[in-house]
Amino acid sequence: MVIMDTYRIGLAEHELNTLKSLVKEHLKDDVYNELKDKLDNPTIISYSEHKAKATSKATEVRSATAKAKIEKAKIELDRELMRGFIKKVSYYAVAKKSGVHINTVKKYITINEMKAK
C-alpha cells in the first residue's frame, strides 16, 4: 500500500482560471483527465469569523502570559542586583529566568528599561 501526500494550493479565482486555461490548452492527454476534473470542481476554502476571533484571542493570552513571566523575572533580577548577587540585568538573564525566548524578551522590554536601574 502506497500512501500519497495530498497538497492544497491556495489560489485566487483569477489564478485558478489561468491554471485551468493552461491545463486545457497544453495537456491534451487522457492521463491528465483527473487533474482537469479537480480543476473544474475545486474545493472552496472558507475562513470562519469565529476561527479568526479565536486565533486573535489565543495570541493575546499567550502575549499576556509572556509579559507576566518577563515582568516577574525582571523584578526578581532587579532584587538580586540590589542585593549584589548579580552584576547586571540583561536580556539573556531575563530570558533564562522567565523561560521565555530572548527575542520575546527584546520585544517587550526596551533597552532604556534594562538600563533604568
DSSP 30: G
- Note the Cα 39 to chain centre separation in Å: 30
pLDDT value for 15: 85
Cβ proximity of 87 and 93 under 8 Å: no
pLDDT value for 4: 65
pLDDT value for 68: 97
pLDDT digits (tens, 9 = 90+) for 7-51: 777 788 888 888 888 877 777 766 677 777 777 777 777 778 898
Confidence of residue 106 (pLDDT cuts 50, 70, 90): very high
Q: Which residues of 39-55 are buried (b: 16+ CB within 10 A; e: fewer)?
A: beeeeeeeeeeeeeeee
Q: What is the domain partition of the chain in residue ranges?
A: 11-44, 64-115
